[in-house]
Amino acid sequence: MREEFVEAVLAVVGLVPPGSVLAYGDVAELLGSGGPRQVGAVMSRDGGEVPWWRVVRASGEPPQGHERRALACYEAESTPLRGDPRNGPWRVDIARARWAPTQAELAAVEAVAELLASREVSDPRGGMEP
């Protein structure tokens, strides 16, 4: 995966405020590049320096294998949850927690997406390594 795509994913995730989340596909859509699997690969490999718990599956399930750590973060940030985290299945209430960027935040996301697009156009590989 190209470093520009990795940097763009991490930049967008870094903009998500406490108590909010995006699905992997939301990140790709905001960037206009890649898809949920590519974003997931970036987060799995390089997401440790950003609020990784703020990127969930479309169902609201937290990052696989990190459920307990993510739950502590969700509770600390008052992220809306569904179910009972202590006695049964749970997930992020993505309908209530999905990040809706303000105009200023959206401008920051668009700047990242535009920079990524300009780099992809200049590279015939289209942003992904073979």
Amino acid at 128: M
Domains assigned to the chain: 3-121 (1.10.10.10)
The model's pLDDT over 79-116, given as tens digits with 9 standing for 90+, comes to 999 999 989 899 999 999 999 999 999 999 999 999 99
Q: pLDDT of 21-40, one tens digit each?
A: 999 999 999 999 999 999 99
What integer pLDDT is reported at residue 128 of this predicted model? 45
What pTM does this model have?
A: 0.88
**DSSP H or E run through 23:** strand 22-23
Strands 55-56 and 22-23: parallel
CA 93 to chain centre: 15
Residue-level pLDDT at 5: 96
Per-residue pLDDT band at 127 (split at 50, 70, 90): very low
Distance (Å, whole) CA 12 – CA 23: 12
Whether the Cβ atoms of residue 2 and residue 10 lie closer than 8 Å to each other: no
Instruction: Pick the more confident residue, 118 or 14.
Output: 14
Tens of pLDDT, residues 47-81: 999 999 999 999 999 998 999 999 999 999 999 99
Residue type, 80: P
Confidence of residue 119 (pLDDT cuts 50, 70, 90): confident
Alpha helices in the chain (DSSP H): 3-15, 24-31, 36-46, 67-77, 94-97, 103-121
In this prediction, residue 122 has a pLDDT band, given cuts at 50, 70 and 90, of: low
49, amino acid identity: E
Q: Which two tokens stand for residue 17?
A: 């405020």
Q: 81-83 and 90-92 as β-strands: parallel, antiparallel, unpaired?
A: antiparallel
